Chain A
Amino acid sequence: MNNKRDHIIEFLYHNYNNIKNQLFPILTFIISFFNAHSKYKPLIFSGFVLVGGVIVVYSFLTWYNKMYSFKEKMIVFSEGVFKKRRNDIPFKNIRSINTSDSLIKRWMGISNLNIEMIGGEKVSFVLSNREIQELKSNIFSGIELKTRGLHSAKFNALEYLLLTTSNIGLFLTSLSIGLWGGGFALDHFAVELGLATEAEKLALEQDTTGMWEKLQQTSWSDVNADVWLGALTFLAVIVVISLLLTSILVYLTYKNFSIKISNKEIEISYGVINKKHFHISHIHIRSIRIIEPLLYRKFGYAQIKADNIGLNDKASRTLFIMPIVKKEKIPLILKDYTPDFTEQIVTMRPDRSTIPIFIFRSVWGVFVTFAALTIITNYAAWGFVLVPLWVIYGYLKWKHSGLHFNDRYITTSFATRLNKTTLITLKKYVESTGVGQSFLSKKTHKADYSFAVYSERLEEVYESDLLDETKKDEFLSYLVMDTS
Chain B
Amino acid sequence: MKKIEKQSVTIWNLFSLQNAIITFLITGITFFFFEDVQWVRKILVIIVIWALYTFITDLIAHHLTYNNAAYELTDNILYIQNGGFSRHENTIPLNRIQHADIEQSFYSRFFDLYALNIYTAGANHTIEYIKREVADDLRNKITQINTKEMGLHE
Contact = CB atoms under 8 A, between A and B. Distances in A.
Contact of B120 (A309, A431, A478): A431
Contact of A480 (B39, B93, B120): B93
A434 B122 contact: no
B90 A483 contact: no
B122 A480 contact: no
Given A428-B153, A432-B93, A439 B85 contact: yes
A157 B103 CA distance: 59
Interface residues of B, number: 30
A75 B85 CA distance: 52
Contact of A436 (B45, B76, B87, B122): B87
A122 B117 CA distance: 29
Given A439-B85, A452-B122, 14 more contacts: A375-B42, A375-B46, A428-B152, A428-B153, A432-B123, A433-B90, A437-B86, A442-B87, A454-B121, A454-B122, A458-B124, A476-B79, A479-B93, A484-B76
Contacts of B91: 432-434, 476-480
A459 B42 CA distance: 37
A435 B79 CA distance: 11
Contact of A432 (B42, B96, B152, B153): B96
Contact of B123 (A375, A429, A431, A442): A431
Contacts of B93: 432, 479-480, 482-483
Interface residues of A, number: 36
12 contacts: A309-B153, A375-B42, A431-B92, A432-B91, A432-B123, A438-B86, A442-B87, A453-B122, A455-B121, A459-B123, A459-B124, A477-B91
Contact of B92 (A377, A432, A438, A441): A432
A369 B152 CA distance: 46
B90 A432 contact: yes
A434 B76 contact: no
Nearest to A455: B122
Contacts of A429: 153
Interface string B107-134: 0000000000000111111000000000
Interface of A: 309, 372, 375-377, 428-439, 441-442, 448, 452-455, 458-461, 476-480, 482-484
Contacts of B76: 480, 483-484
Nearest to B89: A435
Contact of B83 (A432, A436, A480): A436
Given A432-B125, A480-B76, A483-B94, A452 B120 contact: yes
Specify which of B77, B90, B123 lies most central, judged by the most chain A CB atoms within 10 Å of its CB.
B123
A441 B87 CA distance: 10
B149 interface: yes
A328 to B, nearest CB: 33
The 8 lowest CB-CB distance pairs between A and B, nearest first, are A452-B122, A452-B123, A431-B122, A431-B120, A434-B90, A438-B86, A483-B76, A436-B88
A302 to B, nearest CB: 25
A465 to B, nearest CB: 11
Contacts of B92: 431-432
B92 to A, nearest CB: 4
A376 B42 contact: yes
B43 interface: yes
Contacts of A461: 122-123
Contacts of B8: none
Contacts of A452: 120, 122-123
Nearest to A451: B122
B122 A437 contact: no
B153 A372 contact: no
Contacts of B88: 434-436
A90 B77 CA distance: 33
B86 A432 contact: no
Nearest to A484: B76
Given A372-B46, A429-B153, A454-B153, A480 B77 contact: yes
Contacts of A430: 122
Interface in B134-148: none
